[in-house]
């Protein structure tokens, strides 16, 4: 499993099922998380983490797709 750091998004297993959460800290060997659905959650053991999502950051190069040019159909009527 990947190294879990503060700011990572995790999918964890809890008493009510699986949930997404953001890691906000580590205390006494457990992960302090803030659930994405707003419910309360106590500290998590690492064994309860099913998946870890890391921040990829901004893309390094130009976008892969061709740049679109505006057409008459895309003009906004602001009146």
For 21-40, the pLDDT digits (tens) are: 999 999 998 999 999 999 99
Whole-prediction pTM value?
A: 0.67
Q: Please identify every stretch of the chain with a pLDDT value under 50, giving residue numbers as ranges.
A: none
Report how many domains make up the chain: 1
Beta strands per DSSP E along the chain: 9-14, 17-27, 30-35, 49-53
The answer to whether position 8 is within a domain reads yes
Q: What CATH number is attached to the domain comprising 27?
A: 2.30.30
The answer to whether position 68 is within a domain reads no
pLDDT at 6: 93
The answer to whether position 79 is within a domain reads no
pLDDT at 9: 94
d(CA 43, CA 29): 9
Containing structural domain, residue 27:
1-47
The answer to whether position 7 is within a domain reads yes
d(CA 16, CA 37): 13
The answer to whether position 2 is within a domain reads yes
pLDDT at 16: 86
The answer to whether position 60 is within a domain reads no
């Amino acid at each position: 499993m990947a190294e879990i750091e503060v700011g990572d998004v995790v999918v964890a297993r809890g008493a009510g099922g699986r949930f997404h959460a953001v890691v906000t800290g580590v205390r006494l060997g457990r992960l302090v998380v803030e659930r994405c659905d707003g419910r309360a959650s106590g500290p998590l053991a690492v064994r309860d983490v099913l998946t870890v999502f890391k921040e990829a950051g901004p893309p390094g190069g130009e976008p892969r797709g061709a740049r679109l040019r505006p057409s008459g159909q895309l003009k906004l009527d602001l009146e």
